[in-house]
Structures are given as structure tokens and as C-alpha cells.
Structure 1
Amino acid sequence: MTPPAENEPALRERIVALGASLFDRGFSVGSAGNISVRTQDGFLMTPTNSSLGRLDPEALSVLDPQWVHTAGPKPSKEVVMHQAMYQARPQAAAVVHLHSTYVTALSCLETEPAIPPLTPYFIMRLGRDVPTVPYYKPGSPAVLADLQAAGERGPAVILANHGSIVAGGSLEDAVNAAEELEVSAQLAFLLEGRATRPLNQEQIQDLLG
């Protein structure tokens, strides 16, 4: 079921504010990363080559429900990844794609799963596990099928040698989940090679209800 869209001017302001928050805390650098949000008439998206730290609410890309660019600057070339996540998760109201340091480092390893279920908040915000899809050139439409299949498993996906993409029931939910994914990746690095105590299947199921 598609969630109801919110007031567009308010959404524009929140994209700018949360984008700046991610940038200021190092979850995004330079012009890396992008955000999209569902609207009553389609989608808002951060423009191509834009910095999440320097967005303008009046200069966001506007796309119709079929992902055709209708107004504003040209959208990110990675629009196909957002399209795949919305198709996989029709309840999603927003999608956040980041190149955050620890998730991107894990995305370059062959370990699967990349992040073990170490904390309850990993499970509650990201699901039972976070799948990794193979590497595709940024912007390649070839990623669509693999990413859609991975997105059906849970709201977060690791992109091999690239970063992450996370969907949420609101923009805040998507940002919170993307941050939780990065912190979970950092924990995985800090604990690598040590005897860990991941959550067991009974504990995971209890969290998932």
C-alpha cells in the first residue's frame, strides 16, 4: 500500500535539513549520496552533482510517478536505484543513498552477511539481515532487477564497492535507518576477529514480532 504523501514545501525543507545533518556529521562527503521522497504527484530528488550539505529547497528535481523528470534541475544519475527500492517496498515514503565510510568499506569485502545481527536496533530498523548486491557502474539500469529483489528482503541494501541504499516509511525513518546501518558497520569493524555474541534466531524473531 502506497503511503500518503506530505505537503511538498515542508518536504523540501526537511530534505535540505536532514541532508545537511548527514553531511555535517560525515555520513556524506562532497557530492556523494542522494535522497528522494514521495510526493502527491510523484517524487522529489536531490539533483545530480549536488552536495547534501548545500541543498536549496527551491532547486530540487521533480519527477512524475513514472520517474520522468518534469521540473527543477536534472536528478541524480542514480535515480534507477531509488526506483528499484520504491518498487520493492511500495510502503516506502523516502529513500536515502549514502557512501558512508564504514558501510562502503564493508561493501568492498567478500564477507556475507556483511554485518552480523549484533544489536536490537539493527534488527528493528534494518530487518533480519542486510543483503549485498553485486557491483554495477553508478547510474547503470542493469542494477534494477538485483536491487529490487534485495529490497524485497528488507529496507536496507549494501551496494558492492559503492555504499548503501535505505528505504523508510518517512524521510526521518529512512535517515535514521541509514545512520543505524553505518554505526552497525562500524561495530562490525571494531569487533572483527574477536569472539562476538550476535543475537540468536529466537531473539531476532522476538524483535520482529
Structure 2
Amino acid sequence: MINKEQINTFIQEAHRFGDEKLMLCSSGNLSWRVGSEAIVSGTGSWLPRISEEKIAICNIATGERLEGVRPSMESSFHLGILRERPDVNVVLHFQSEYATAVSCMKNKPINFNVTAEIPCHVGREIPIVPYYRPGSPELAKAVTEAMKEHNSILLTNHGQVVCGKDFDQTFERATFFEMACRIIIQSGGDYSVLTEQEIDDLEVYVLGKTAK
């Protein structure tokens, strides 16, 4: 059973994402795995000032709402990601200023690796999902599929989704994602990216992984 302390933690973290201006009003949604259940922000709720009355508790396996208000219209892909990714406990859909501007560009960048933080934390590759109506089954399916092997994705004319093992990792991915997009836009498109060898070196010498 999800307890009061866990609900308060969820609320505090939602406010932290809002304080960083990762979303405006009701434009974002958040979920957190707690055992076999998930705390999910309610439909139409404002993460920057969400309260207990705007929270839903859902069964991850079935998607059934167990307690609280109706979950976010995007809860299908939140729960889908949690089902497909046992290593993930937090999912955030957000619409930060620069990353959302990039999502609306006609000619979107195919490489976001402008600084070392991007391949190290956001993802060496960031898939771009075509536009689907918010809350639609098509969007839920596309997002869940894209997030099977990625931790961050861009939604065309919509926003972004990131996930992580905890709130801190998710927050880090979201803020560095926004940083990369700010660099891309403020450079006027005249920016450089890390080479494949430079990224391999980061994975070996910074992250301690075997180079791809």
C-alpha cells in the first residue's frame, strides 16, 4: 500500500520539476513506481502546485485506477514504460521552453550531443516520435516502444519524455535535455557535436562502460 510519506515525496518532486520550469500549468505529467503500483499525476493537474487531491494510484500491470482522481491522459504510456522497463521507476512528460521549440522545428536536429552531459546522462541517441494526438492509443504505443531502449525521446509538436531509476536521475536527464536544446537554438544552428570516438571515450573513461 502506498503511504502518506510516499505521496508527500511525489508532491515535493513534482514541485521541483515545476520550479525548474520544465512545464507550464497542466502541460506535464509524472509517475512513480511504488511496488506493483504507480502514483500518477491526475488529468489536468498542474505539477508545479499539485496536491494530494490531484493524484491517482494505478495498478501497473493492469492500468486500473485503484484510488484518487482520473490519471493523466498520458498515463497509458507512463504505465507502459514501467511495465517494459523494470529498471525504471520514474517517468516524466514535460514541455520545457527550448526542447519544445526544437520539437516544433521543421528540420529537427538528428544529433543532440553538444556537450558531454548529453550522451552521459540524456542519451547517445534521442528518438523523435511523430505527432500523434495527446492521450491517443497511437501515442502511447509509439512512446512505449521508443522508450524500451532509450531514456529520453522528443515528441514532434508536443514535448519530451524522460525516465530514470529515481527522481534525481529523471530530473538530471530532463534538465540536460533542455540545456542541449537551448544550445542548439541559441547557436542559431551553428553548433558542433561530439564525434563517435569522443563519445566512446566518455563511455570508457567517464562511465566505465565498454565502448560500442
Work out the number of aligned pairs and report it. 203
> What is the TM-score of this pair, normalised by structure 2?
0.87
Give the Å deviation of 1:13: 2.0
> What does 1:47-66 correspond to in 2, within 5 Å?
47-57=42-52, 59-65=54-60, 66=62
Please give the alpha-carbon distance, in whole angstroms, between the structure 1 residues aligned to 2:78 and 2:98.
Answer: 21
Instruction: Answer yes or no: is the 8 Å Cα contact 2:33–2:82 preserved in 1.
Output: no
Over residues 128-170 of structure 1, what are the superposed CA-to-partner deviations in whole Å (9 max), with x where a residue is unaligned? 1111101111100112332223212310011110000111011
Give the Å deviation of 1:76: 0.5
Please give the alpha-carbon distance, in whole angstroms, between the structure 1 residues aligned to 2:189 and 2:169.
Answer: 32
- Runs of at least 4 residues off by over 4 Å: none
The answer on 1:94 being equivalent to 2:87 is no
> What does 1:69-148 correspond to in 2, within 5 Å?
69-148=65-144
**Matching residue of 1:197:** 192
Please give the alpha-carbon distance, in whole angstroms, between the structure 2 residues aligned to 1:114 and 1:17.
Answer: 34
Please give the alpha-carbon distance, in whole angstroms, between the structure 1 residues aligned to 2:58 and 2:189.
Answer: 46
**Matching residue of 1:169:** 165
> What is the TM-score of this pair, normalised by structure 1?
0.88
Structure 1 pair 12/43, CA: closer, same or farther in 2 (3 Å)? Answer: same
The answer on 1:159 being equivalent to 2:133 is no
Please point out which of 34, 37, 44 is paired with 1:39. 34
Higher relative contact order (CA 8 A, sep 6+): 1
Q: Secondary structure of the equivalent of 1:53?
A: helix
The residue type paired with residue 181 of structure 1 is F
Q: Percent identity?
A: 26
Instruction: Answer yes or no: is the 8 Å Cα contact 1:89–1:152 preserved in 2.
Output: yes
Instruction: Answer yes or no: is the 8 Å Cα contact 1:18–1:175 preserved in 2.
Output: no
Please give the alpha-carbon distance, in whole angstroms, between the structure 1 residues aligned to 2:94 and 2:34.
Answer: 21
Please give the alpha-carbon distance, in whole angstroms, between the structure 2 residues aligned to 1:139 and 1:59.
Answer: 18
Please give the alpha-carbon distance, in whole angstroms, between the structure 1 residues aligned to 2:111 and 2:85.
Answer: 21
Over residues 41-83 of structure 1, what are the superposed CA-to-partner deviations in whole Å (9 max), with x where a residue is unaligned? 3110011111112212464200012211110111101112213
Over residues 70-99 of structure 1, what are the superposed CA-to-partner deviations in whole Å (9 max), with x where a residue is unaligned? 101111011122133224432101001101
Q: Which moved more, 1:101-110 or 1:11-20?
A: 11-20
Q: Which runs of 5+ in 2 are unaligned?
A: 204-208
Alpha-carbon RMSD across the aligned residues, in angstroms, is: 2.0
